[in-house]
């Protein structure tokens, strides 16, 4: 579970959607704004990816655990990030998700 200080509040979510830069891969779309404060993350898995809520939550949990590890390894980089899962995230393994997400985050932060 992400710490409360690393979760993205609703008000900031809307701002990032409007002002954030887009980055894409086969598994994710990411909206990101660099920040001077701590990391803030939000993970979105739409119904178009998986209709079953339990499976959507499973995908969301995988992504959150990867984000937690990323925050621990890179405490100096700061950003506000929204991660949108694509349909490919449903069938891909944990290690592929981890590689893809860490590559995007390290490259663009």
All structural domains of the chain:
4-108 (3.30.230.10)
- Whether 43 contacts 83, CB under 8 Å: yes
Helix (H, G, I), strand (E, B) or coil at 60: helix
The pLDDT tens digits along the chain (109 residues) read: 777 878 888 888 888 899 989 999 989 999 999 887 878 899 999 999 999 999 999 999 999 999 989 888 988 878 899 999 999 888 999 999 999 999 998 888 8
N- to C-terminal Cα separation, the chain: 22
| Model confidence, pTM | 0.89
Residue 62 neighbours by CB distance under 10 Å: 20
Alpha-carbon span 67 to 44, nearest angstrom: 13
pLDDT attached to residue 48: 93
pLDDT attached to residue 10: 82
């Amino acid at each position: 579970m992400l710490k409360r200080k690393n979760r993205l509040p609703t008000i900031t979510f809307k701002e990032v959607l409007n002002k954030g830069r887009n980055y894409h891969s086969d598994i994710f779309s990411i909206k990101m704004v660099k920040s001077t404060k701590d990391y803030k993350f939000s993970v979105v898995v739409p119904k178009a990816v998986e209709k079953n809520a339990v499976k959507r939550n499973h995908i969301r949990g995988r992504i959150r655990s990867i984000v937690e590890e990323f925050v621990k390894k890179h405490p100096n980089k700061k950003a506000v990030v929204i991660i949108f899962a694509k349909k490919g995230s449903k069938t891909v393994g944990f290690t592929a998700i981890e590689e893809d997400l860490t590559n995007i985050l390290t490259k663009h932060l």
